[in-house]
Chain A
Amino acid sequence: MTHLIAWPVLLPLITGFILILAQTGGIHLRRTISFLAVIGLVLLSCALVSTSLTGQYQVYLLGNWTAPFGIVLVLDRLSALMVLITALLALGALWYAIATNTDNKGAHFHVLFQLQLFGLNGAFLTGDVFNLFVFFEVLLLASYGLLLHGNGRLRTKAGLHYVVINLIGSTLFLFAVGALYGVLGTLNIADMAAKIAVAPADDLGLIAAAGLLLLVVFGVKAAMFPLYLWMPRAYANTSAPVAALFAIMTKVGIYAIIRIHGTIFGSEAGELAQYYAPWVLGLGLITLLLAALGVMAARGLREQVAYLVLASVATLLIGVGLMTPAALSATLYYMIHSTLIAGAMFLLADVVLRGRGIYEDRFEAAPSMPNAIAIGSAFMFGAIAMTGMPPLSGFFGKVLILSAALDHPWFAGAIFIILSAGLLTILTMARSGSFLFYRTLPENAELTATTPGEPLNRMAFVAVITLFFAGPVLVLFAQPITEFTESAGNQLFNSTAYIEAVLSTPAVTEATKR
């Protein structure tokens, strides 16, 4: 048994502790440690992805207790992919934070950043529902600190909403977990799935209720209608690197729905098999429509990007709700694209904000910003990728989801809403681009002197460009990547293999060690 699976969880945790001890060592030391740890995490996650390519489940028994009794970490293609996306996004966000000196605005940015990664990786790798709850709490507590990093009244207000709604979510999570444990007598995801298959008919109602309660919890995380109202304001008002990292936070909710509901209420679950799918699909469609309207109504670029993230989450929910291996594969492809591009868009919004001085990112006429051509080109690139126009990755992801939707009974409604939401976002992004870059006030020496925008921070801009590179890379290597996501989708649909792999993994004995 290899210890590789445990390292993506342990590395950020250990780094976090070292960073607390290195608090007196100056900002440069902390930056070096934090950056090296994230580089290490990228390498580790590459190793995880190559391990997962074998197609076998890697089960790591923490404390060497076999599955239903002890806690397990499980690695399959989906978990490996999520850990890799997180590491890449973290690299970009951390680079930007260091280049713009955002990390120096409060005391413990790097510690919280590492603990956030600890929580995220733990949530992606765990095979136990209660452990998922604990990792959720870890990542949430770190995110509360990160969200409030730096200062500002609007940030405090949005942060308060974020904290309260997530505390309510945690309470509901415990209610759901408690009810499931009371009925099934286990907390291991694989064991739960096995127990539901043979559950007596009297208990099914209670199990279904607990499952939908879990869906509410993950819906809060994923910002699903009607639970998304906290999200745009919180994301728009936090600092840019944090908002970029939070692009993965909503995907944690999607991941949890795929993992928990997909496994527990998979094809083995008898009467309850995939009973949650219509909810996810319907609520995803409503979310998408409202997100498109939110994109149109946004007053500033950061708020607009937050609504674009909401639109991408809604598209992912639709993909999950379609409930076919092809749709799931398309969802995973779109997940890679939307996470990395959305992170880059948050960073770009901050670049625009810094360039425009007191006009910030609001859609109103302002003097032309420094390096407007470079920033404007990046904006056009990001807008094309984000709204799903050819030739970039957003288009491919949407085409895959749409073609998967053709087989579904609700295909007409789904396609109509996806396409009209796409049209609305394209129109609005074109409008915001012309507001920010074309509709400039005439050169006016007095005005420019009183409202100086910062010159372009080249080191920070590199982070934006690097994350945007995901767009062309996802298109150029579409063949191997879709092959990977297809096999991941098939693996997820084969929940029997997951259950068997987790429950049959033997404990390590002296004999197997040698």
Chain B
Amino acid sequence: MEWLVSLAIGVLTAAGVYLTLRARTFPVVMGLTLLAYAVNVFLFTMGRLTIGAPAIIDKTAASMQYSDPLPQALVLTAIVIAFGMTAFLIVLALKARGELGNDHVDGLILAKEEQAEQPRQQSTDAQPSAQGSHPPKKEAN
């Protein structure tokens, strides 16, 4: 069972790392989700893998086997946090897609235009109200 679980963690982590290194926001979100899954399984494993053991130490039982309840509590917390963070990241990625006009993590194509026009055009940063007048640029790609 150990090798199966560790293989699963390894594959999840490798896929997660690969996807977070991609240039577009959607694979990055997927990659972070996979990393979160991997770390959840990892945390769970750190309480040692047992089957059918109670979550309390029973001195009278013959085997003295027990399953550690603490990692399960940690995993629960980690799942909730990762879930909330992923939801936030998706909303932010959509916002970036809408405002930057492309889904590059670096906003790569628009950034060059912005730099070129910066001396002339006031940055939208200081005047959010002016933003409506600058529709997203023609989609890159």
> Which residues of A come within 8 Å of B, CB atoms?
105, 130, 134, 137, 141, 144, 148, 150-157, 159-161, 163-164, 167-168, 170-171, 174-175, 177-179, 181-182, 187, 237, 353, 358, 360
Greatest chain B CB density within 10 A among A153, A157, A167 is at: A153
- A134 near B100 with CB under 8 A, answer no
**Nearest opposing residue in chain B for A179, CB measure:** B46
Interface residues of B in 79-133 (CB under 8 A from A): 81-82, 84-85, 88-89, 92-93, 95-96, 99-100, 105-107, 110-111, 114, 122-126, 128, 131
The binding surface of chain A is classed by DSSP as helix
Total number of B residues with any Cβ neighbor in A under 8 Å? 43
> Which residues of B come within 8 Å of A, CB atoms?
20, 25, 28, 32, 35-36, 38-39, 42-43, 45-47, 70-71, 74, 77-78, 81-82, 84-85, 88-89, 92-93, 95-96, 99-100, 105-107, 110-111, 114, 122-126, 128, 131
Which B residues touch A150, using CB under 8 A? Answer: 128
- A153 near B124 with CB under 8 A, answer yes
Chain A to chain B: the 6 pairs with minimum beta-carbon distance, closest first:
A182-B46, A151-B128, A152-B125, A178-B43, A174-B39, A178-B46
- B85 near A178 with CB under 8 A, answer no
Minimum CB–CB distance for A195 against chain B, Å: 15
- A156 near B43 with CB under 8 A, answer no
- Docked Cα-Cα span, A137 to B82, in Å, equals 10
Which B residues touch A141, using CB under 8 A? Answer: 84-85, 88
List 10 interface pairs A-B (beta carbons < 8 Å), by A numbering.
A105-B128, A151-B131, A152-B123, A154-B123, A154-B125, A156-B92, A156-B95, A164-B32, A174-B42, A178-B42
- A167 near B89 with CB under 8 A, answer yes
Which A residues touch B125, using CB under 8 A? Answer: 152-155, 237
| Option from B71, B77, B111, B122 in Cβ contact (under 8 Å) with A157 | B111
**Nearest opposing residue in chain A for B128, CB measure:** A151
The binding surface of chain B is classed by DSSP as helix
- B32 near A137 with CB under 8 A, answer no
**Given A164-B105, A181-B70, are A148 and B92 also a contact pair (CB < 8 Å)?**
yes
- A164 near B42 with CB under 8 A, answer no
Minimum CB–CB distance for B137 against chain A, Å: 10
Which A residues touch B82, using CB under 8 A? Answer: 170
**Given A164-B28, A167-B85, A171-B39, are A157 and B100 also a contact pair (CB < 8 Å)?**
yes
**Nearest opposing residue in chain A for B41, CB measure:** A178
Minimum CB–CB distance for A166 against chain B, Å: 9
| Option from B38, B74, B111, B114 in Cβ contact (under 8 Å) with A130 | B74
**Given A141-B84, A156-B100, are A171 and B36 also a contact pair (CB < 8 Å)?**
yes
Minimum CB–CB distance for A299 against chain B, Å: 9
Greatest chain A CB density within 10 A among B20, B38, B96, B125 is at: B125
- Docked Cα-Cα span, A241 to B74, in Å, equals 35
- Docked Cα-Cα span, A178 to B122, in Å, equals 48
| Option from B20, B42, B106 in Cβ contact (under 8 Å) with A175 | B42
- Docked Cα-Cα span, A162 to B110, in Å, equals 19
- A360 near B89 with CB under 8 A, answer no
- B131 near A168 with CB under 8 A, answer no
